[in-house]
Amino acid sequence: MKDQEHQNGKSGFNRRDFLRGSGAAAAATALATAPQLAFAQAADDKKVVRDQTTITLNVNGGDHKVIVEPRTTLLEAIRYQLKLTGAKPVSPDGVAGAATVLVDGKAMNADTLLALECAGKKVRTVESLGGEKPDAVPAAFVHNDAQQCGFCTPGFVVAVRAFLNAHPQATEAEIRHGLNGNICRCGTYANVIQAAMEVVKGGSK
């Protein structure tokens, strides 16, 4: 009865509304602070890296010491410390695919991976597919003129290699679908597909 009298009064305030509002505020505060508490707990449990640290990256079959910060990407580590410049910094969100590398055999974008995440994993860059006896994929790219300015080419080469490793008898349609994460601004897609199909058929060995 008293609550109703307060509600009908000038203030429009009642104790039930106050308790309901304070309960919602407490719940909101708990939700807001939960991630912070969880992060603090993780920091205590796992010793989160906050400053520069030295890690070992296994790249192209060899172990390499690199100095990284928590924000250092794999692309930055391999380009600027290991001097492997095949993977290109085209788009920070990885949409172009020009920074494609192999991580434990899977095609991944080095510009969206933290270097810290890759410690203990096997990384292969496009440089591992070259040399005196190049892999069939870059050889097929040359044979089919599957490059123009060449900026996107390393990413395509690695992506094709990864896809054909998983699908050695892929059809043209499957290859087109499998490479939809790579962009070529020069428009050499048709030649890239021809190169991939040549490898499927056993060419450029």
pLDDT at position 26 is 53
Mean pLDDT computed over every residue of the chain: 84
In percent, how much of the chain has pLDDT > 90?
A: 67
pLDDT at position 17 is 61
Residue 81 or 92, more confident: 81
Examine the pLDDT at 51 and tell me if it is beyond 60. yes
Examine the pLDDT at 14 and tell me if it is beyond 90. no
Q: What DSSP string runs through 106-165?
A: EEEETTSSBGGGGTTSEEE-GGGG-SSS--HHHHHHHHTT--SS-SSHHHHHHHHHHHHH
Examine the pLDDT at 5 and tell me if it is beyond 50. no
Where residue 93 falls among pLDDT bands split at 50, 70, 90? confident
Q: How far apart are CA 118 and CA 137, in angstroms?
A: 25
Residue 182's H or E segment, with its range, is: none
Examine the pLDDT at 106 and tell me if it is beyond 80. yes
**What number of residues does the chain have?**
205
Measured between alpha carbons, how far apart are the two ends of the chain, in Å? 91
Residue 94 or 176, more confident: 176
At residue 100, the 3 state secondary structure works out as strand
Examine the pLDDT at 13 and tell me if it is beyond 70. no
Q: How many CB atoms lie within 10 A of CB 140?
A: 26
Which of these ranges, 87-96, 102-111, 173-182, has the smallest mean pLDDT? 87-96
Instruction: Give start and end residues of each alpha helix (H) in 12-100.
Output: 15-46, 74-80
pTM, full prediction: 0.74
pLDDT at position 39 is 42
